[in-house]
Amino acid sequence: MMAYDKLIFELSKPGKTGYRLPSLDVEGKDLSEYIPEELLATDELDFPEVSEVDVIRHFTNLSMKNYGLDRGFYPLGSCTMKYNPKINEDVASLEGFTNLHPYQKDEDVQGTLEALYNVGEALSEISGMDFMTLQPAAGAHGEITGVMLIKAYHEHNGQNQRNKIIVPDAAHGTNPATAAMAGYEIIEIKSKPNGMVDIDALKAVVGDDTAGLMLTNPNTLGIYDENIKDITSIIHDAGGLVYYDGANMNAILGHSRPGDMGFDIVHYNVHKTFSTPHGGGGPGAGPVGVKSFLKPFLPKPVVEKKDDGTYYLDFDVPYTLGKMKAFVGHVAILLRTYSYILTMGKDGLRDASTMAVLNANYLAQSLKENYNLPLDRLYKHEFVLAGIKDDTHTITTLDVAKRILDKGFHAPTVYFPLIVPEALMIEPTESEPKDTLDDFIKALNEIAEEAKTNPELLKTAPHDTPVRRPDETKAAKDLVLKYEGEINA
Ligand SMILES: *Cc1c(COP(=O)(O)O)cnc(C)c1O
């Protein structure tokens, strides 16, 4: 074991300390006289005894066992792990924002309300919608808000028989899960071989019982549905509403808008497209945009602007869903969004999408020689490979993904979407330079060569990481969060 691999408990030596408390400045009394007897510890505590440098090194070494975007390429499909400018962190940390209390009066927090109002306006403009609620805390939370809006709208119009939501099979898994949670029956329609919604199959299932359709666009294959206008018209003609899963808005920013395609509701994942490092489970924000006829149903409060230019929280929303989140949502995430939009500007946002799409297609075309590309076509921000080309049929996507770790990259998303066998889902994002993409292509081609010459190398990978092949179910369900070795005392 290298010295820097030692855990804090193994560095412990009796008598070492990393702190010095000031001497007691209350005369004549022992500390124990101030603390009730029953609150005093009776046993020696099992704490490691270490110096200040030991502590610093322990935590720094632990952090370096982790892999993050600030260390290297992280092409996780569907999740958009991209570089997020640090200036957005600075903006969200400004004391004028962080020292506020959510119960302060509107007139005391005009700056924050203005920022929230403006970010709502910007997100409406970018998506082609009329109004936003900023409350939802994540993408899936935005989805449930959107589906509850669909339900509230139909109930308001006496259309309670509309109990089915249509979801194409290339949708993100949260779409059918959300509709089911809202009490809907899910009608799944299969994609055509070209990855798009089967229009005939769609026409066959719509009717008086259609509440709506949820479309992930680009879908989980990274494909923009060319029949999108037909899809929204078919649902509208049947009296349903159309929901756009805009989690991956980085594919279309400044190029096209869900509102113009006919969608009634759209959610964003601002922790994917609009800054905020995500991973580790949050926090995020999933603002939901609606066309004006749905505004009366939005969660309350909504941020509004008066004629005199001041801002206020409006609790008077006629058919409101109520609250989806405490107060106004995750303000600090929305501030990062605002900062990102302002620093990028209209042209910058459009360029980001252009580069995200270019990078994905460059990788897809560069990897198809050695990896199966089921659909050789134009992709948006991501694409899905169906495993490595391997005549022996012994090398799995898991082997490839593990070997990628040895090459110094984070692996792509694997075995998702389910409709592609041995799926490797790759999203390079706009923030990677061509040099990095070329290094990644080289690494994947080396792996393809190793698969032929030394398959054992792949089967036993990874070789260079702190953890190798954990039992993933056990690792998630049976966490060991405590040091279980001997304390060196
Ligand atoms: C990430 C994602 C979601 C879910 O977003 P969360 O913030 O993780 O809840 C939904 N749809 C699509 C297409 C996504 O990529």
Domain membership flag for residue 70? no
Maximum alpha-carbon separation in the chain: 89
Residue to probe by mutation, ligand 1, list 78, 223, 250, most atoms within 8 Å of CB: 78
Name the 3-class secondary structure at 356: helix
The Å distance, Cα 178 to ligand 1 centre, comes to 11
**266 phi and psi, to 5 degrees?**
-145, 140
Measured in angstroms, how far is the CA atom of residue 272 from the centroid of ligand 1? 9
Pair 263, 256: CB distance under 8 Å:
no
* Angstrom distance (rounded) from CA 416 to CA 414: 5
Residue 207 lies in a domain: yes
Q: Helix (H, G, I), strand (E, B), or coil: what is residue 181?
A: helix
Instruction: Answer yes or no: are the C-beta atoms of 483 and 62 closer than 8 Å.
Output: no
- Do 203 and 339 lie in one domain? The reply is yes
How many A from CA of 354 to the centre of ligand 1?
21
Who's near 387: CB < 8 A, 6+ residues apart? 371, 372, 395, 396, 397, 400, 421, 422, 423, 424
Same domain membership, residue 379 and residue 267? no
Among 343, 359, 390, where does a domain finish? 343
Low-confidence ranges of the chain (pLDDT < 70): 1-5, 279-282, 486-489
pLDDT of amino acid 369: 98
Instruction: Work out how many domains the chain is built from and give that number.
Output: 3
Residue 76 lies in a domain: no
Q: Is residue 19 part of a domain?
A: yes
Residue 445, domain CATH: 3.90.1150.10
424-461 per-residue burial string, b: 16 or more CB within 10 A, e: under 16:
bbbbbbbbbeeebbebbbebbeebbebbeeeeeebeeb
Residue 283 Cα to ligand 1 middle (Å): 13
Indicate the helix (H) or strand (E) that contains 414.
strand 413-414
- Please give the distance, rounded to the nearest whole angstrom, from the Cα atom of residue 257 to the centre of ligand 1: 18
Asked if 285 and 382 sit in the same domain, the reply is no
Residues 353 and 336 in one domain: no
- Whether 52 maps to a domain, the answer reads yes
pLDDT tens per residue across span 145-203 = 999 999 999 999 999 999 999 999 999 999 999 999 999 999 999 999 999 999 999 99
Mark whether 273 and 169 lie in a shared domain: yes
Question: 143 CA to middle of ligand 1, Å?
Answer: 9
Does 75 reside within a domain?
Answer: no
Residue among 172, 219, 425 whose CB has most ligand 1 atoms within 8 A, to mutate: 172
What spacing in Å lies between the alpha carbon of 350 and ligand 1's midpoint? 21
Q: Are residues 447 and 461 in the same domain?
A: yes
3-class DSSP assignment, residue 27? coil
284 Cα nearest atom in ligand 1: 7
Is residue 201 domain-shared with residue 147, that is, in the same domain?
Answer: yes
Ligand 1 atom closest to Cα of residue 271: 7
Interval between CA 267 and ligand 1 midpoint (Å): 10
Write the residue with the smallest CA distance to atom 15 of ligand 1: 78
CATH for 255 = 3.40.640.10
Please check whether residue 488 lies inside any domain of the structure: no
Pick from 319, 343, 367: which residue ends a domain? Answer: 343
Looking at ligand 1, which atom is closest to the CA of residue 78?
15
| Cis bond before residue 301 (omega within 30° of 0) | yes
Ligand 1, residue 216: give the atom nearest the CA.
Answer: 13
Pocket residues for ligand 1 (CB within 6 Å)? 78, 138-140, 172, 174, 216, 245, 247-248, 269, 284, 286
Are 422 and 280 within one domain? Answer: no
Note whether 356 and 422 are same-domain residues. Answer: yes
Same domain, residue pair 260 and 288: yes
Point out the domain boundary residue: 36, 65, 94: 65
Ligand 1 pocket check: which of 169, 269, 274, 337 to mutate, most ligand atoms within 8 Å of Cβ? 269
- Structural contact between residues 258 and 246, judged by C-beta atoms closer than 8 angstroms: yes
Kindly tell me the burial class for residue 52, based on how many C-beta atoms sit within 10 Å of its own C-beta (0-12, 13-18, 19 or more): exposed
Kindly report whether the global pTM for this prediction surpasses the value 0.95.
no
What pLDDT score was predicted for residue 1?
45
In a domain, 489, yes or no: no
**Which residue, by CA, sits nearest to atom 5 of ligand 1?**
139
- 428 and 367: one domain? yes
Q: Which domain holds residue 370?
A: 348-476
Q: Do 58 and 93 share a domain, yes or no?
A: no
Residue nearest to atom 6 of ligand 1 (CA): 139
Query: How far, in Å, from the CA of 329 to the mean position of ligand 1?
Result: 17
Query: Tokens 């297609």 map to which residue?
Result: 361
Q: What's the 246 CA to ligand 1 centre distance in angstroms? A: 9
